[in-house]
Amino acid sequence: MSASELIVDASSWIDFFHGVELPGLEAALERGRVILPPIVVSELVSGARTPRDLALITDLLVDLPVHQTPLEHWIRVGELRRFLQGRGLTVSTPDAHVAQCALDRGAWLLSGDGVFPLIAELVPLQFLAR
């Protein structure tokens, strides 16, 4: 991975918060290169099981920049889903949003989710497997 920005999906953050070593994420955090998709913020906050978990999540996320998502972004999310569906790949709106955030920024996407390598086969998504 180059020094470009890194988009991180919710499953990778969950692993990170559970102590899984993710060198790509840790390096990007140290360099200030992690960008949050808004849906990932929501997914992480809603999944917090205890007040302590919520505080840990919030303390980290509050310092990270969030990808701005004006109407044009959501149109691109819909276009991405439509394009992928036309090639036989059905993708959820949250996954398309995360992928589109990376595409919008020319950023790498860190994930262990099997849908993202499939997306990367069809569009120029820079995918970094965990």
State residue 3's pLDDT score. 56
Structure-token pair, residue 76: 């691109």
Beta-carbon count within 10 A of 112 CB: 14
d(CA 51, CA 96): 30
Confidence of residue 60 (pLDDT cuts 50, 70, 90): confident
Chain segment 12-58, per-residue pLDDT in tens: 999 998 899 999 999 999 999 999 999 999 999 999 999 999 998 99
Whether pLDDT at 2 is above 80: no
| Average pLDDT estimate for 85-107 | 98
Just give the CATH number of 6-129.
3.40.50.1010
Domain ranges in the chain are 6-129
d(CA 116, CA 119): 5
Confidence of residue 130 (pLDDT cuts 50, 70, 90): confident
Q: Which ranges in the chain belong to alpha helices (H)?
A: 10-17, 23-31, 38-47, 51-61, 71-86, 93-105, 115-120
Kindly write down the DSSP assignment for every residue of 65-79, as one continuous string: -B----HHHHHHHHH
Residues with Cβ < 8 Å from 102, sequence gap 6 or more? 7, 108, 109, 125, 126
Confidence of residue 94 (pLDDT cuts 50, 70, 90): very high
State residue 124's pLDDT score. 97
